[in-house]
Structure 1
Amino acid sequence: METGASNTLKPTLNVWHMWGLAVGLVISGEYFGWSYGWDKAGTLGFMVTSVMIAVMYTTFIFSFTELTTSIPHAGGPFAYARRAFGDKAAFIAGFATLVEFVFAPPAIAMAIGAYLNVQFPGVDVKVMAAGAYVIFIGLNIIGVRIAATFELFVTILAILELLVFMGVVSPAFSVANFVAHGWSGQDGFSVAAIPGIVAAIPFAIWFFLAIEGVAMAAEEAENPKRTVPVAYIAGILTLVVLAMGVMVFAGGTGDWKALSNINDPLPQAMKLVVGANSGWLHMLVWIGLFGLIASFHGIILGYSRQIFALARAGYMPQYFAAVHPKFKTPHRAIIAGGIVGVAAIFSDDLISFGGQTLTANLITMAVFGAIVMYIISMLSLFALRKNEPNMSRPFPAMVYPLFPAIALILAAISLVTMIYYNQLLAELFVALMAIAYGYFLLTKHHRDAAIDNQQIPVVG
């Protein structure tokens, strides 16, 4: 670690910053990714999937706030699992969270490139995606308050743009368009539609993926016991309304099949209504970029804090626990995740398999990490309730134990079905975890020697 650097983060974020981060981390999911679910389940089938996943996320967030306010730590789920179960569970939670937050940004970067390609057909999508990494890695290094203020600004613009999109396409909305062949290509529901509904789970999760990243900024929040729960609850309610609205209005504009399996469904939906040369379309492309940028930028913040926290506690090389002496940000962790993301963007042959596009596989991989992390987090909540009944809980889980149990059960169902429908990616996930676990076994002395500034006790 360089001279003058420390491994302590500075609390500078207010409640608006945290709400902006909660929504901004996720809002790109309203702009792209979800329409791949239409290809699996149809519009009506995917609506069923989306409602189920919305229930899972709502109950999860109303439970997760107990953990984030009780243990405000940059490691988020890794820290909760460590306190509840010890080192091995912390490793699994940390690895899963890292996979989620490292594989999601290249998918979003590819969508940024696709949106720019709509405006400038000659640009290379992958070059634009890599360029996005360079710009926003730099912004994240400069300072967390600057980064969070920018995040709040672009998130508000992104929300307004989604509302404008719904308003512009509403005159062309038709229920008949939305329901046509809405059950996995069929006009009526049958048992044959169920596999598609289940296979679409990763893309419904993409509507809400990464909202838990707010927990990784908890050390940098002013009064996290107040700001974190407000951000989470207001954030999830905002996202549920936007997700359902965007999906319904886009699906009712024309032939929804033309919008599935693409990275820019909203511009293409608007093109069906106003034409390719409309000013509304150009506005959607330019302002719509803010939605993608908000999530891309926010998730860079999230993965960097996860790498930083794991390194600080001895689960990754201590090299990544350095904080920039001037900007007080984990600059090495920010750059490391970016290198992995850019490599993924240019790894079509490696990641484009199983009949899915590169973007779809990146989304599915990120979702694997998220679901594993959700399961461990809810198990940690139950364990801490049992083992540490007197622990300070500024914001207890609502409707306990029902809400945490619903979130846990739905997450477990999602994981089982995802493994069944994505066996190659599941094997890749397990292989990466096995490699990481080998490092974990060889570096126990690093964890023993690490100074964890949050002083979270290790169980077991």
Structure 2
Amino acid sequence: MSEDSPHLAKSLNAFHLWGIAVGLVISGEYFGWSYGWGQAGTLGFLITTLVVGTMYVAFIFSFTELTSAIPHAGGPFAYALRAFGPWGGALAGFATLIEFVFAPPAIALAIGAYLNVPFSGLDPRLAALGAYGVFMALNIAGVSIAATFELFVTLLAVFELVVFMGVVAPSFRLAHFLAGGWAGQDHFSLAAIGGIVAAIPFAIWFFLAIEGVAMAAEEAKEPRRTIPRAYITGIVTLTVLAFGVMIFAGGTGDWRALANLNDPLPQAMKGAVGQSSGWLHMLVWLGLFGLVASFHGIIMGYSRQIFALARGGFLPGVLARLHPRFRTPHLAILAGGAIGIAAIYSDRFVHLAGQPLTASIVTLSVFGALTMYIVSMAALFRLRRTQPEMIRPYRAPLYPALPALALGLASIALATMVYYNLALALLYGVVVAVLCLLAVVLGKPAAIDEDAGGGPAA
């Protein structure tokens, strides 16, 4: 590794990494998933979530092998580059970048929607812009400060979800959850299968971005020990919360009233305890912490991906510059934020595939995630075969069955996503192909150094 290659500071412990793993995802427990009820009903979506949850558990237990063996800020980009060379690295890197750059605008608008409840005169887009400004600044101020804040808001968000389940539990009735549970019907039919498949993106939203811990690996203390702990405890935490929130919310009353809403938890609690309850006001305010945790953490993730791609020669080198005082990739943080803010303010007049822009970019984010999952599992198999001597402090259990399960389920999910979103799939494919072509042909791709703990090889 060259002496002048930018180095990120190592200051994160296992608790910080757990906070990042859970915080990156936890907004998905607060909003977005209820659209799956609109597609598949409660029982159909329960099946979708079981399958997607299985995919994520298999993926994380396998992906952790790569993250602990190659603790690099590029995460999947670094693994694919080492396994498949520049073209594989470019594909994984830009797919991950699309996932992480396009998720924050949707979360920022959800923050604006939550704030619009107590402040009805506040423009949600203005609130979203303010959120970008505050949390980009916090990320620039230093990774230790940013990760400590992430841990704090994540703990509050987890606490709030536990409180939600406790408060609505007395109102839970299994009959409520079962009524019309098969895409609005009381009995399973062939029509329900289409809904189960169509609901895949909303089940993925429960877990989307947990892999972002990989982008913090280069800043972790003892990454080969702390990362496996963070990933495994993180996926267990998120799985329990996802199923708990979904089941309790669906059993408090008529779940159809919650489908296709951006705030299903406050509405479920309103039905259980009434609009004037102090519990409801607490949920609205503390619910912001779940959104903030994911928004803040994903900014950290996209900035490290931009930084790693620039340092590796796949993006302009200026984006790999570190702040002289804080040692954070400040230009990468600002560049990703500029794209997100542009998306927020384009939402009113830009539509893709007949959908508002923010709805479309959530789908594009899922396309990026699934592509990255597939390439990462393929990289795991290839590196096991071509580099058996690589130091692997953590090895995927049940190899090769578990990584193959993750690879197979991710491939099926991507195929169904393409089928139901053909126009967006074509747009996504063209964008990724152009980015890869420009990066590999016009850029200056570098190999990952053998220690994989920092910049490209000299």
**TM-score after normalising by structure 2:** 0.96
Secondary structure of 1:320 counterpart: helix
- Alignment partner, residue 141 of structure 1: 140
Q: Please say which of residues 407-416 and 350-359 is displaced more in the overlay.
A: 350-359
Whole-angstrom distance in 2 between the partners of 1:311 and 1:290: 32
1:447 pairs with 2:445: yes
* Aligned-residue offset at 1:454: 3.2
Counterpart position of 2:9: 10
Alignment partners' CA distance in 2, 1:395 and 1:6:
28
What's the counterpart of residue 29 of structure 1?
A: 28
CA deviations on 1:390-441 (whole Å, 9 max, x unpaired) are 1110000111111100000000000000000011211221121133134224
SS at match of 1:119: coil
The residue number in structure 1 matching 2:314 is: 315
Moved more, 272-281 or 184-193: 272-281
Note if contact 1:351-1:361 (Cα within 8 Å) is conserved in structure 2.
Answer: no
The aligned residue for residue 230 of structure 2 is 231
Relative to 1, partners in 2 of residues 1:329 and 1:457: Cα closer, same or farther, differing over 3 Å? closer
Q: 2: distance between equivalents of 1:84 and 1:457?
A: 15
Aligned residues: 453
Cα distance in 1 between the residues matched to 2:44 and 2:289: 29
- How far, CA to CA, are the matches of 1:324 and 1:147 in structure 2? 15
Counterpart residue identity of residue 454, structure 2: Q
Q: Which amino acid aligns with 1:51?
A: L
Contact 2:314/2:440 (8 A) holds in 1 = no
Q: Kindly report which structure 2 residues correspond to 1:152-191, keeping only aligned pairs within 5 A, or say none.
A: 152-191=151-190
Q: Distance in 2 between matches of 1:309 and 1:300?
A: 14
Q: Secondary structure at the match of 1:145?
A: helix
Question: For the structure 1 residues 76 and 183, does the alpha-carbon distance in structure 2 shift closer, same or farther, using more than 3 Å as the test?
Answer: same
Instruction: Flag the 1:351–1:91 CA change in 2: closer, same or farther, 3 A.
Output: farther
For 1:368, the equivalent position in structure 2 comes to: 367
**In the superposition, relative to structure 1, how do residues 453 and 179 fare at CA in structure 2: closer, same or farther (>3 Å)?**
closer
Pairing 1:79–2:88 present: no
Cα distance, 1:357 vs structure 2: 4.8
Structure 2 portions without partners, runs of 5+:
none
8 Å Cα contact 1:83/1:456 also seen in 2: no
| Secondary structure at the counterpart of residue 32 of structure 1 | coil
Alpha-carbon separation, structure 2, partners of 1:141 and 1:59:
34
Q: Is the deviation greater in 68-77 or in 166-175?
A: 166-175
Distance across 1 between alignment mates of 2:59 and 2:231 = 10
Per the TM alignment, residue 143 of structure 1 is displaced from its structure 2 partner at its CA by: 0.4
**Structure 1 residues 197 and 408, CA, compared in 2 at 3 Å: closer, same or farther?**
same
Distance 1:356 1:455, change over 3 A: closer
Deviation of 1:260 (Å): 1.7
**Counterpart of 2:204?**
205
Say whether the 8 Å CA contact 2:86–2:440 is kept in structure 1. no
User: What is the Cα-based RMSD across aligned positions, in Å?
Assistant: 1.8
Structure 1 residues 105 and 309: CA distance shift in structure 2, 3 A: same
Equivalent residue letter for 1:87? P
Gap regions ≥5 residues in structure 1 = none
Tell me how far 1:61 sits from its aligned partner. 0.4
CA 1:269–1:83: 2 relative to 1, 3 Å:
same
Deviation at residue 217 of structure 1 after TM alignment: 0.3
Partner of 2:429: 430
Q: Deviations over 1:237-282 (max 9, x none)?
A: 0000000000011111112122122211111111112222221111
Tell me if structure 1 keeps the 8 A contact 2:446–2:457: no
Counterparts in 2 of 1:280 and 1:435: CA distance versus 1, 3 Å: same
Match of 2:121 in 1: 122
Structure 1 residues 101-110 or 350-359, which shifts more? 350-359
Specify the code of the residue in structure 2 equivalent to 1:282.
Answer: H
Structure-2 separation of matches of 1:260 and 1:322: 45
Return the alpha-carbon distance in structure 1 between the equivalents of residues 112 and 52 of structure 2. 28
Contact 1:23 1:238 in 2 (8 A): yes
The answer (yes or no) to whether the contact 2:447–2:457 under 8 Å persists in 1 is no
Distance in 2 (alpha carbons) for counterparts of 1:23 and 1:306: 19
* Residues 433-442 or 155-164, more deviating: 433-442
**Structure 2 counterpart SS, 1:415:** helix
Q: What is aligned with 1:46?
A: 45
Where does residue 342 of structure 1 map in the other structure? Answer: 341
User: How far off is 1:453 after superposition?
Assistant: 7.4
| In 2, Cα distance between equivalents of 1:24 and 1:396 | 25
Distance (Å, rounded) in 2 between the aligned partners of 1:263 and 1:6: 43
1:297 corresponds to which letter in structure 2?
H
Q: How far is the alpha carbon of 1:360 from its aligned partner?
A: 3.2
Matched residue type, 1:227: T
Q: 1:109, 1:6 → 2: CA distance?
A: 33
Residues 1:54 and 1:92: Cα distance change in structure 2 (over 3 Å): same
Shift of 1:125: 1.2
Using the TM superposition, give the Cα deviation of residue 355 of structure 1 relative to its aligned residue in structure 2, in angstroms. 5.2
Q: Which residue identity is paired with 1:447?
A: P
Q: CA deviation at 1:84?
A: 0.4
The Cα of 1:53 is off from its aligned counterpart by 0.5
Q: Distance in 2 between matches of 1:297 and 1:282?
A: 23
Shift of 1:348: 2.0
> Is residue 2:114 matched to residue 1:99?
no
- Report Cα offsets for 1:89-111 as digits up to 9, x if no partner: 10000010000000111111111
Q: 1:131 corresponds to which residue?
A: 130
Q: Aligned pair in 2 of structure 1 residues 54, 8: CA closer, same or farther (>3 Å)? A: same
Q: 2:194 matched to which residue of 1?
A: 195
CA distance in 1, matches of 2:52, 2:235: 12
